[in-house]
Chain A
Amino acid sequence: MKKALIILIGIAAGIVLYCAPSAPKGSRKAPAGASDLAVAAQKTYVAPGDLDEFYLFASGGHSGQVYVYGVPSMRHLSTIPVYTPYPATGYGFDDDTKAMLGGLTWGDVHHPALSETNGEYDGRWLFVNEMNGRVARVDLRDFKTKQIFGPMPNVSGNHGSAFVTPNTEYSMLATRFSIPLPKGRSAPIDKYATEYKGIIAAVKIDPKTGEMSQGFEILTPPFDWDLGDAGKKVSDGWMFWTCYNAERATGKLEVTASQRDRDYIAAVDWKAAEKAIAEGKGDVIGGVKVIDPKKVPGIVFLMPCGKSPHGVDVSPDGKYVVGSGKLQGVTTVFNFEKIQTAIRNKEFTGDEDGIPVLKYESIKDAEVPVGLGPLHTQFGPDGYAYTSLFVDSAIAKWKLGTWEVVDKVPMSYSIGHLCAAEGDSASPKGKYLVGLNKLSHGRHLSVGPSQPESSQLVDISEEKMKLLYDAFTEPEPHYAQMIDAKKLKPIEVYPKEENKNPLAVWDVKDAGVARSGNTVTAKVILVRSTITPTSIEVNQGDTVKIAMTNIEQTTDELHGFGLLDYNINIVVDPGETKIVTFKADKPGVFPYYCTNFCSALHQEMQGYLIVKGKG
């Protein structure tokens, strides 16, 4: 009896354990062998003092910044502040950067785009978009943000950006949100399908200076434009953007915008648009020339693509356009030649607000069964494509032309974008690929509820992809660009000869304070280990302008200027002049000091702002 009871309990325990396994059955992977680990360690180990092979510029999402990593070490090398003040470099505190931020203290950075020449990265500039209708240019000579362009008229939700054309003629964008235009006008939400409009816009880039200016805009139906890519080589002159919500739905979009089996990829002949604008076509909306494709045909065409496509990526030779429908298990490959033929032969199945819809069967080359939730595709140098799979949490490797899926590697977890070395250019470098994952849980020391994102380095130099390294990145790397380190030659000090600031002084004899009415201008010199002058006297209510020149010409000799109780924090690089203007509204004595540790006598590098009270 007792024995039978024990057996019964034993059987019951067995059933309970079997029905509630601690891991999915058959999921136990063979643990990586010691030799695999050794190979991975060797491939990612960059010895102290050695340098990485590639730079990775990762978008910082709603942190508003760009993060620079070295590949293959995945070490975080630097943060480039773009849309958000960054006390570490004094960004957003001095007059120039404060003016550049334009009163906004956040931006949602999505898609960095390196400047290109003939479709290849040229290492001159990095363009990054952000959702409030802006595009910024980072100069890779000094890794500094030089211009923030926008918010642009009519643009609401600048998501499909900042993709550059093959010779950096334009940075192209398309809006995620549609609103009644011009901005400032309102219309009831039930008029969404007709009164709300999306925008495709071209930001003109000066080929010499990189300076951005207003290009043209194109009016679109209220689809939610998502991502884009410029055609290259055979398809140069064309831009492609995916959209979801071809349903023109409102409300609970996760349902209402997921009804159709196919949404669209817009194919835009931007050279034709450029020509139409030059011929004086287009209407002025919100102060900018806007082309209505209904009135100016031959510029925009719609390619049906299943289902709610996210990424659209043009192959290195420009022949294929890969659209990844995030709600299905295949990625769709379109053939540029076929698109052109279909346009010529008017193989249309209908239109959307006068924009012709191309016949799917006429332009499609393949539906590649990559796996669930395909999002983005990057390319290798050898005809292989790599597609991220959000739902499957993996990367699929497949061959262009044969459309054969040859390998998959799991990602931890839920990969969004991915970035192969120069993998969206006309000449991908292969070797490394970084998966930019949305979730990281459990793969790092716990840091509480606010979790870092995970970026995983994958070796793509061989037939089988191999996971090499887990790195944890600041939120939120939407997209990244990986460039051969040899292409960048950044300066490390600003040459004195290039400093044209009229308030710059280079000899401590010339430093000093001058008053003109209620404005006090202090020409300040920062050099190891004194801030000259060591005291500045003003009256309460004065406008104080402090122009600081770091007269060092030595690498890494940065000096800071922190002014207590006035919320002023400036960092001046060697050879640079920065100006901060403020109202001395608080009386008293306020110490200022060098914030950036510079020398053995760094602590002594301090002085006093004396604000004489009115009383």
Chain B
Amino acid sequence: MKTFFERSARFVAAPLGIGPRGLIVLAALLLLPAYFLPLWKMTMFAPQYPDGLRLSIYSWKLEGGNGGQDVKEINVLNHYIGMRDLAPSDFTEFKWIPFVVGALGLLFLRAALIGTISALVDIFVLYVYFGLFSLWSFGYKMYVYGHTLAPTAAVRVAPFMPPMFGHRKLANFDVYSYPGLGSYALAAVALALAAAVILAGLEERAEQRAEAAVAG
């Protein structure tokens, strides 16, 4: 048991090679698209809207298609079922996500400089947590929008969950929801960090074997 702790303490304190450090820097760079590419895209088609109504969710803003007009149109339609307006002020995410992404980027660079497996594991765990929390937060927001319907609405519909991934038919609308390019970049960040962890582990194990061979 003691040896396991000793070994793992030594393992996490071990310095990173150039490969994992490079991957961490790459992960930091891959955070950047989250500032200017949409994280999620929703498209809604109906007979009356053959060109579709488009909604792009960025880390810091909501953008409607057709020069922003589509958000207004979605709100006009939603008011008939008593749904709240999609208002940027409702999205606290627009404030904290850009901050957290920036902070993560700085931590990534710090990890690349300090260059220990421990720092790498920290940012990896933190990042995965951030990713999962954001997804949950997004899903919860959708749930709340679909379930907080004014009781005085002209048209009563059963509370519903808008689709997060894929297609769902809602009244006369075919709604498609998919991650945007920004989310793919963020997924690539997770992959880069995971690759860095694996690479660092392999390098460290090879190191230990080499040491053992020298000692032996």
A544 at the interface (CB under 8 A from B): no
Q: How far is B76's CA from A132's CA once the two chains are assembled, in angstroms?
A: 46
Q: How many A-B residue pairs have CB under 8 A?
A: 16
B173 at the interface (CB under 8 A from A): no
B154 at the interface (CB under 8 A from A): yes
Chain A residues whose C-beta falls within 8 Å of the C-beta of B80 in the assembled complex: 529, 599-601
Q: Say whether B69 contacts A553, CB under 8 Å.
A: yes
Chain B residues whose C-beta falls within 8 Å of the C-beta of A601 in the assembled complex: 80, 154
Interface of A is mostly: loop
Query: How many whole Å from A604's CB to the nearest CB in chain B?
Result: 8
Q: How far is B76's CA from A528's CA once the two chains are assembled, in angstroms?
A: 7
Query: How many whole Å from B208's CB to the nearest CB in chain A?
Result: 66
Which of A527, A554, A600 has its CB near the most chain B CB atoms (within 10 A)? Answer: A554
Query: How many whole Å from A117's CB to the nearest CB in chain B?
Result: 29
Chain A residues whose C-beta falls within 8 Å of the C-beta of B69 in the assembled complex: 553-554
Within 8 A of B (CB), among A568-615: 599-601, 604
Chain A residues whose C-beta falls within 8 Å of the C-beta of B76 in the assembled complex: 527-528, 552, 554
Chain A 552-575 interface mask (CB, 8 Å, partner B; 1/0): 111000000000000000000000
Q: Say whether B155 contacts A554, CB under 8 Å.
A: no
Chain A residues whose C-beta falls within 8 Å of the C-beta of B72 in the assembled complex: 553-554
Q: How far is B67's CA from A553's CA once the two chains are assembled, in angstroms?
A: 10
Q: Say whether A554 contacts B73, CB under 8 Å.
A: yes
Chain A residues whose C-beta falls within 8 Å of the C-beta of B154 in the assembled complex: 601, 604
Chain B residues whose C-beta falls within 8 Å of the C-beta of A529 in the assembled complex: 80
Chain B 151-171 interface mask (CB, 8 Å, partner A; 1/0): 000110000000000000000
Q: How far is B80's CA from A527's CA once the two chains are assembled, in angstroms?
A: 12
Q: How far is B46's CA from A600's CA once the two chains are assembled, in angstroms?
A: 14
Q: How far is B76's CA from A364's CA once the two chains are assembled, in angstroms?
A: 68
Chain B residues whose C-beta falls within 8 Å of the C-beta of A552 in the assembled complex: 76
Q: How far is B73's CA from A569's CA once the two chains are assembled, in angstroms?
A: 26
Query: How many whole Å from B52's CB to the nearest CB in chain A?
Result: 13
Query: How many whole Å from B193's CB to the nearest CB in chain A?
Result: 44
Chain B interface extent, by class = under 10
Chain A residues whose C-beta falls within 8 Å of the C-beta of B155 in the assembled complex: 600
Within 8 A of B (CB), among A526-545: 527-529
Which of B69, B72, B76, B154 has its CB near the most chain A CB atoms (within 10 A)? Answer: B76
How many residues of chain A are within 8 Å of chain B by beta carbon?
Answer: 10
Chain B 66-100 interface mask (CB, 8 Å, partner A; 1/0): 00010011001000100000000000000000000
Q: How far is B57's CA from A182's CA once the two chains are assembled, in angstroms?
A: 70
Q: How far is B77's CA from A552's CA once the two chains are assembled, in angstroms?
A: 12
Chain B 111-153 interface mask (CB, 8 Å, partner A; 1/0): 0000000000000000000000000000000000000000000
Query: How many whole Å from A555's CB to the nearest CB in chain B?
Result: 9
Q: How far is B76's CA from A287's CA once the two chains are assembled, in angstroms?
A: 55
Chain B 166-185 interface mask (CB, 8 Å, partner A; 1/0): 00000000000000000000
Q: How far is B76's CA from A554's CA once the two chains are assembled, in angstroms?
A: 10
Chain A 191-210 interface mask (CB, 8 Å, partner B; 1/0): 00000000000000000000
Q: How far is B72's CA from A601's CA once the two chains are assembled, in angstroms?
A: 18
Chain A 129-167 interface mask (CB, 8 Å, partner B; 1/0): 000000000000000000000000000000000000000
Chain B residues whose C-beta falls within 8 Å of the C-beta of A599 in the assembled complex: 80
Closest to B73 in A: A554
Q: How far is B76's CA from A553's CA once the two chains are assembled, in angstroms?
A: 11
Q: How far is B80's CA from A554's CA once the two chains are assembled, in angstroms?
A: 17
Closest to A551 in B: B72
Chain B residues whose C-beta falls within 8 Å of the C-beta of A604 in the assembled complex: 154
Query: How many whole Å from A47's CB to the nearest CB in chain B?
Result: 15
Q: How far is B75's CA from A552's CA once the two chains are assembled, in angstroms?
A: 12
Q: How far is B154's CA from A329's CA once the two chains are assembled, in angstroms?
A: 71
Query: How many whole Å from B69's CB to the nearest CB in chain A?
Result: 5
Query: How many whole Å from A594's CB to the nearest CB in chain B?
Result: 14
Query: How many whole Å from B132's CB to the nearest CB in chain A?
Result: 38
Q: How far is B81's CA from A601's CA once the two chains are assembled, in angstroms?
A: 12
Q: How far is B212's CA from A470's CA once the two chains are assembled, in angstroms?
A: 97
Closest to B72 in A: A553
Closest to B154 in A: A601
Q: How far is B167's CA from A570's CA once the two chains are assembled, in angstroms?
A: 42
Query: How many whole Å from A530's CB to the nearest CB in chain B?
Result: 10
Closest to A599 in B: B80
Q: How far is B155's CA from A553's CA once the two chains are assembled, in angstroms?
A: 23
Q: How far is B212's CA from A365's CA once the two chains are assembled, in angstroms?
A: 111
Q: How far is B69's CA from A552's CA once the two chains are assembled, in angstroms?
A: 9
Q: How far is B79's CA from A600's CA once the two chains are assembled, in angstroms?
A: 12
Q: How far is B73's CA from A294's CA once the two chains are assembled, in angstroms?
A: 66
Chain B residues whose C-beta falls within 8 Å of the C-beta of A527 in the assembled complex: 76
Chain B residues whose C-beta falls within 8 Å of the C-beta of A528 in the assembled complex: 76
Closest to B48 in A: A556
Query: How many whole Å from A497's CB to the nearest CB in chain B?
Result: 11
Chain A residues whose C-beta falls within 8 Å of the C-beta of B73 in the assembled complex: 554
Q: How far is B80's CA from A529's CA once the two chains are assembled, in angstroms?
A: 9
Chain A 469-489 interface mask (CB, 8 Å, partner B; 1/0): 000000000000000000000
Q: How far is B154's CA from A600's CA once the two chains are assembled, in angstroms?
A: 10
Closest to B53 in A: A554
Closest to A49 in B: B50
Query: How many whole Å from A528's CB to the nearest CB in chain B?
Result: 5
Q: How far is B80's CA from A599's CA once the two chains are assembled, in angstroms?
A: 10
Q: How far is B172's CA from A599's CA once the two chains are assembled, in angstroms?
A: 14
Q: How far is B154's CA from A553's CA once the two chains are assembled, in angstroms?
A: 22
Query: How many whole Å from A499's CB to the nearest CB in chain B?
Result: 15
Chain B residues whose C-beta falls within 8 Å of the C-beta of A600 in the assembled complex: 80, 155
Query: How many whole Å from A534's CB to the nearest CB in chain B?
Result: 15
Chain A 97-119 interface mask (CB, 8 Å, partner B; 1/0): 00000000000000000000000
Query: How many whole Å from A603's CB to the nearest CB in chain B?
Result: 11
Query: How many whole Å from A86's CB to the nearest CB in chain B?
Result: 26
Closest to B68 in A: A553
Q: How far is B80's CA from A81's CA once the two chains are assembled, in angstroms?
A: 35
Chain B 39-72 interface mask (CB, 8 Å, partner A; 1/0): 0000000000000000000000000000001001
Given contacts A599-B80, A600-B80, 13 further A-B contacts (CB under 8 A): A527-B76, A528-B76, A529-B80, A552-B76, A553-B69, A553-B72, A554-B69, A554-B72, A554-B73, A554-B76, A600-B155, A601-B80, A604-B154
* Smallest CB-CB A-B distances: 5 pairs: A553-B69, A528-B76, A554-B73, A601-B154, A553-B72
A-B contact pairs, 15 of them (CB 8 A): A527-B76, A528-B76, A529-B80, A552-B76, A553-B69, A553-B72, A554-B69, A554-B73, A554-B76, A599-B80, A600-B80, A600-B155, A601-B80, A601-B154, A604-B154
Q: Interface residues, chain B, CB within 8 Å of chain A?
A: 69, 72-73, 76, 80, 154-155
